[in-house]
Amino acid sequence: MEHIRNFSIIAHIDHGKSTLSDRLIQAVHIVADRDFKDQILDTMDIERERGITIKSQTVCLPYTAKNGKTYSLNLIDTPGHVDFSYEVSRALASCEGAFLLVDASQGAEAQTLANLYLAMEHNLEVIPVINKIDLPSADIERVREQIEDDLGLDPERVILTSAKEGIGIEDVLEAAVNFLPPPKGDPDKPLRALIFDSHYDPFRGTIVHFRVFDGRIKAGDTIQFMSNNARYKVEEVGIFQIVRKPRKVLSAGDVGYMIAGIKTVSDTSCGDTITLKSNPCDAPMPGFRESKPVVFSSIYPVASDEYEDLAVGLEKLKLNDSALIYEKDSSAALGFGFRCGFLGLLHLEVVQERLEREYDLSLILTAPSVQYEITLNDGEVMIIDNPSLYPDPSNILMTREPYIRAAIIVPDRYMGAVMKLCLDRRGINRNYQYLTRDRLEMIFELPLAEVIYDFYDKLKSVTQGYGSFDYDILEFRETDLVKLDILINGERVDALSQLVHRDRAVERGRRACEKLKEEIPRQMYKIAIQGAIGAKIVARTTISPFRKDVTAKCYGGDITRKRKLLEKQKKGKKRMKMVGQVEIPQSAFLSVLKTED
């Protein structure tokens, strides 16, 4: 165990975690140069296209240090986006140390601080690394000061690297060997291992990723999951070196995978403890904090016969993404589907894209909403996230919505723009403080419903990309909530209903009507699109009908001849309007979700 090091790379978005992982993998030559590609640990197409990490990935690096000894370095590459901070906390539970990357030109940002606190919660040894020192705008001394003042880390331990150019990679590997502690544990005790991830392989069943804390595990052992007492015979254990490399045995301190013919996806859950059936350990490992979804949306298949495929797809995705929750749901307009909970809008987009790509499904999503707490006149308290469950307004005593504490770090020249953005979103300015000469941290309390929509994009726009944002959920506070219905030709479309604050209802209704007008095709009759709160119409647009030129053959003569033909056409259109059913294309449902940009 003296020769094992388990560590993670944590940082804000785009500070170079995946690139540094690439260089470390190249430095130890576990992949031939001809097989190497950038972002090698990002296995999903969607990660490579967007240039972000979504899933934390493990790789075992064999490294011969300057002292002549060979070490096994288990590296876990983590995501940086606030929506996936849950992935980071899971990765850190199986490590003893972490490298905290800071961009040499951007400095410490909101997620840098959030990830540092996560690492401190797990009592990890943190080594600061200043990356991107080759950039013309790099200011290494200023970032050193930030590491000492803002992060409270030792500036003498800082490692200078440029992952892109391959500078300082050897120093990172040496620091892992010399400064990070080896894992603790006893290989002779009963087996105790923590599941921190898993994925589904169509040929081998569920593949479990785990870290061994005590004992040993080998092929042929009969294991037991402590949460549900499910028992399996181990077929194969091994380590990750880009591909799976089988090993005879994994003992205390190792990070690896296990295949045990687990066919039912629901049996494995992250944070569960694995032990041996013949010699179980006395108590399970402390698991992970349950992640709480904050954004809710319903997902429906476009073709109703794809419902079963969607159910299977969600179950397999849940294995790989334990922060996703879902339950059955139905709608008069869209049929059967699932109500899903997500950690943020990026998480929602990623789940939608993965379902469409990996399981070949066509999906419709409803407008995202948050959970509201509704107190009825008889004292009953309801928690709802679905507009279709909204009770009769006359029975409601009080509604409350969730608020967040947002920490926004920006250069001070953008202070006014950020203030305006937050106050427009019903924000309350709590305080602000200068972190350095020209960077300040602004603390706002904002309603979560205003943040999930497009706040992050707007923040990046008004701060020209320099603003960074992190948030924690505070509590529920009283609000004036209304249900905005969309009517098409007088009929309510339940999939387009939204729960909004009364001040925003008219603006949101107008925008939805305008978007639908662009998407719904014209008919032979007039189509009215309306936004309504209860019986009160607050917004309306009309799609004009196609018009056949009935007077084309009517030349000259008295005007009454033309008028007679037009009146006749009007009567026909009236009759059509009474029976006209409007086909709403899939793009119309999606257009309501998109912001005005």
Q: Residue 33: is it exposed, middle or buried by C-beta count within 10 angstroms (0-12/13-18/19+)?
A: exposed
How many residues are present in the chain?
597
Residue 545 one-letter amino acid: P
- CA 213 – CA 575 distance, rounded (Å): 75
Q: Distance between CA 411 and CA 95 in Å, rounded?
A: 34
DSSP E strands: which ranges in 291-424?
295-301, 325-331, 335-342, 363-365, 372-376, 381-384, 396-411
For 86, the enclosing helix (H) or strand (E) is: helix 85-92
- What is the C-alpha separation between 466 and 422, in angstroms, rounded? 16
User: Are the beta carbons of 63 and 40 closer than 8 angstroms?
Assistant: no
> β-strand 4-11 against 97-103: which pairing, if any?
parallel
Beta bridge partners, 274, equal: 193, 225
The secondary structure of 302-335 as a DSSP string is: SSGGGHHHHHHHHHHHHHH-TT-EEEEEEETTTE
CB atoms within 10 A of CB 355: 22
What are the φ/ψ torsions at residue 123 (nearest 5 degrees)?
55, 45
Q: Tell me if 220 sits within 8 A of 137, measured CB to CB.
A: no
> Which residues are known binding-site members for GTP?
14-19, 131-134
- What does the alpha-carbon distance between residue 301 and residue 307 come to, in Å, rounded to a whole number? 6
- Binding positions are 14-19, 131-134
Strands 536-543 and 428-434: unpaired
What is residue 262's three-state secondary structure?
strand
Distances (CA, A) of 116 to 74, 103, 124, 472: 20, 15, 10, 15
β-bridge mates for residue 301, sequence order: 363
Of 80, 29, 81, 102, residue with least CA distance to 59: 29
Closest CA to 353 of 69, 103, 144, 46: 46
The DSSP code sequence of 88-157 is HHHHHTT-SEEEEEEETTTBS-HHHHHHHHHHHHTT-EEEEEEE-TTSTT--HHHHHHHHHHTS---GGG
Asked if 315 and 265 touch (Cβ cutoff 8 Å), the reply is yes
* 126 CB-side CA count, 13 A: 25
- How far, CA to CA in Å, does 429 sit from each of 170, 433, 446, 531? 45, 12, 9, 32
- Is 215 in contact with 190 (CB distance < 8 Å)? yes
Q: Is the dihedral of CA 30, 60, 80, 291 positive or negative?
A: positive
